[in-house]
């Protein structure tokens, strides 16, 4: 099947680039901006997205793509399921492309399937700004092939298997590596800065692990804005391990540091800080704001 109307929920960084790409291919993009900021409204307009109600999305979209923070994923799915149940509409394709646990994906799949939707489990690995050619959308579930038409619109797809939860598990496992490296790197370099060893330790890191500094540095630059969302991903990873009878040590520690970063300067849990012009400037900001100092918010985080 082809997709003529695609709903993107919501127009954050990833949703913005999805919208721009699909709109440039002639696809009608729908979104819901109720309660969103003027900045988000301008971003949606720039991306070519039309603001409509959730009821219209459930009634008119051929495909819904959910790209929200992990804590909002089930709420968005439940709302679409509620509207479909009331209208009696069948066969709306719903792609959950969030960093959630496989258990959350299964819960959403059950609810949406009962409402008549076609659920596809998904995850996105790669840069939002390079969604065409620089990212891969991983899919799983018996209906995953329904999304093959997206390949003709510039998206790279890979089907992992027939089970709901495979794509979600893939995402949180990958996130454990990337966010874990960012958190470890940030912690060590805050220490190096305090001890006046930053320049020399960076040289040694680069000699031992060529390319690591630049790659991990990119992630640090984004932490001032996205630390809270990335902390949510680590919570999903921890839940996944516990569900399968595994004990995780690194994910909770990574989450703890990311939450501390998200709360610098009173930022919200979803992360609304200010990144520097480059990652070293962002790191400098962390140090100046007292990251890892004994007056930090660890007690708050552990509650």
End-to-end CA distance of the chain: 48
Structure confidence at residue 301 (pLDDT):
43
At 277, list the tokens: 């012009």
Q: 273-280 — which CB contacts under 8 Å span 24+ positions?
A: 273/223, 273/224, 273/225, 273/227, 274/224, 274/225, 275/221, 275/222, 275/223, 275/224, 275/225, 276/221, 276/224, 278/217, 278/221, 279/217, 279/218, 279/220, 279/221, 280/217
> What gap in Å lies between CA 45 and CA 20, rounded to an integer?
10
Span 222-248, pLDDT tens digits: 999 999 999 999 999 999 999 999 999
Q: What are phi and psi of 119, to 5 degrees?
A: -95, 135
Other Cβ atoms less than 10 A from the Cβ of 135: the count is: 18
For CATH 3.40.50.720, list the domain ranges present in the chain.
Answer: 5-161
The residue with tokens 């590596």 is 177
In the structure, what pLDDT confidence band is assigned to residue 62 with cuts at 50, 70 and 90?
very high
Which structure tokens are listed for 299?
Answer: 């007690």
Q: Per DSSP, what are the bridge partners of residue 67? A: none
Quick: pLDDT tens for 20-37: 999 999 999 999 999 888
Is the pLDDT at 274 greater than 50, yes or no? yes
What is the CATH number that goes with domain 5-161? 3.40.50.720
Fold of 169-302: 1.10.1040
Domain with CATH 1.10.1040.10 in the chain: 169-302
Enumerate residues 6+ apart whose C-beta is below 8 A from 192.
198, 201, 202
124, pLDDT greater than 80 = yes
Using H for helix, E for strand and C for coil, what is the string for 150-209? HHHHCCCEEEEECCCCHHHHHHHHHHHHHHHHHHHHHHHHHHHHHCCCHHHHHHHHHHHC
Helix (H) or strand (E) holding 135: strand 135-140
DSSP-derived letter for residue 53 is: -
Strands 135-140 and 118-126: what pairing? antiparallel
**pLDDT confidence tier of residue 297, bands split at 50, 70 and 90:** very low
Of the candidates 74, 148, 166, 78, the residue with the CA atom closest to the CA atom of residue 117: 78
Name the CA dihedral angle for 86, 90, 95, 99, rounded to a multiple of 10 degrees: 40
Given pLDDT bands bounded at 50, 70 and 90, which one contains residue 210?
A: very high
- Confidence bin at 1 (pLDDT 50/70/90): low
CA–CA separation, 66 and 76 (whole Å): 8
Residue among 72, 77, 135 nearest 106 (CA)? 77
* Pick from 85, 98, 26, 69: nearest CA to 225: 69
């Amino acid at each position: 099947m082809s997709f003529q109307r695609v709903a993107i929920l919501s127009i954050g960084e990833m949703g913005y680039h999805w919208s721009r790409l699909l709109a440039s291919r002639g696809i009608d993009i729908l979104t819901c901006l109720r309660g969103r900021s003027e900045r988000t409204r301008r971003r949606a307009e720039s991306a070519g997205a039309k603001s409509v109600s959730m009821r219209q999305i459930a009634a008119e979209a051929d495909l819904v793509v959910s790209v929200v923070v992990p804590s909002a994923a089930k709420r968005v799915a439940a709302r679409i399921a509620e509207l479909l149940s009331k209208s009696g509409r069948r066969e709306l394709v719903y792609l959950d492309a969030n960093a959630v646990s496989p258990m959350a994906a299964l819960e959403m799949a059950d609810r949406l399937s009962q409402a008549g939707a076609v659920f596809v489990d998904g995850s996105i690995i790669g840069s939002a700004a390079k969604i065409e050619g620089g990212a891969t959308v991983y899919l799983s579930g018996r209906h995953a092939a329904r999304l093959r038409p997206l390949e003709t619109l510039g998206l790279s797809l890979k089907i992992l298997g027939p089970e709901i939860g495979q794509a979600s598990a893939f995402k949180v496992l990958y996130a454990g590596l990337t966010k874990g490296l960012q958190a470890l790197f940030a912690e060590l370099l805050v220490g190096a800065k305090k001890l006046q060893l930053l320049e020399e330790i960076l040289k040694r890191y680069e000699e031992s692990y060529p390319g690591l500094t630049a790659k991990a540095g990119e992630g640090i630059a984004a932490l001032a804005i996205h630390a809270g969302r990335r902390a949510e991903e680590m919570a999903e990873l921890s839940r996944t391990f516990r569900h399968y009878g595994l004990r995780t040590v690194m994910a909770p520690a990574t989450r703890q540091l990311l939450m501390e970063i998200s709360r610098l300067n009173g930022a919200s849990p979803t992360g609304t800080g200010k990144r520097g012009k480059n990652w070293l400037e962002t790191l400098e900001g962390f140090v100046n704001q007292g990251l890892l100092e004994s007056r930090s918010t660890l007690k708050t985080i552990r509650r």
